């Protein structure tokens, strides 16, 4: 395994949490920054979908406050269904 590639792969793994307190180190390459942002966006979209579904099941258009995203969320009428999410099956 080429040493330079190993260094880059290790950096991707160690920095994928971005600049959060959970990160061993912040992203320092283009690829690491992209991976970090994609990981963050994935987590936020999962939280968004989960919280909107919870609001829908309670008959509300607004979610409770979502710490991960830092705001209340509004249901604009998407098509997410509970069975589409892991852990939300009947």
Confidence of residue 66 (pLDDT cuts 50, 70, 90): very high
46 occurs within a structural domain: yes
Question: What is the tens place of the pLDDT at every residue in 11-52?
Answer: 999 999 888 887 888 999 999 999 999 999 999 999 999 999
* CA–CA separation, 36 and 27 (whole Å): 7
Domains: count for the chain? 1
Does this model's pTM top 0.85? My answer is: no
30-41 residues labelled b (16+ CB within 10 A) or e (exposed): eebeebbeeebe
65 occurs within a structural domain: yes
35 occurs within a structural domain: yes
Residue 59 is part of which domain span? 3-84
For range 48-73, the mean pLDDT: 95
φ, ψ for residue 17, nearest 5 deg? -85, 5
89 occurs within a structural domain: no
90 occurs within a structural domain: no
Q: 79 pLDDT exceeds 80?
A: no
* CA–CA separation, 83 and 35 (whole Å): 28
* CA–CA separation, 69 and 3 (whole Å): 38
53 occurs within a structural domain: yes
Q: 2 pLDDT exceeds 70?
A: yes
């Amino acid at each position: 395994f080429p040493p330079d590639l190993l260094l880059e792969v290790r950096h991707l793994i160690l920095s994928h949490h971005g600049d959060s307190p959970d990160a061993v180190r912040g992203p320092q390459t283009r690829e690491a920054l992209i991976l970090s942002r994609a990981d963050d966006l994935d987590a936020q979209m999962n939280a968004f979908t989960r919280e909107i579904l919870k609001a829908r099941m309670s008959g509300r258009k607004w979610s409770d406050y979502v710490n991960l995203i830092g705001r209340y969320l509004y249901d604009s009428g998407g098509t997410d269904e509970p069975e589409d999410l892991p852990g939300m099956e009947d």
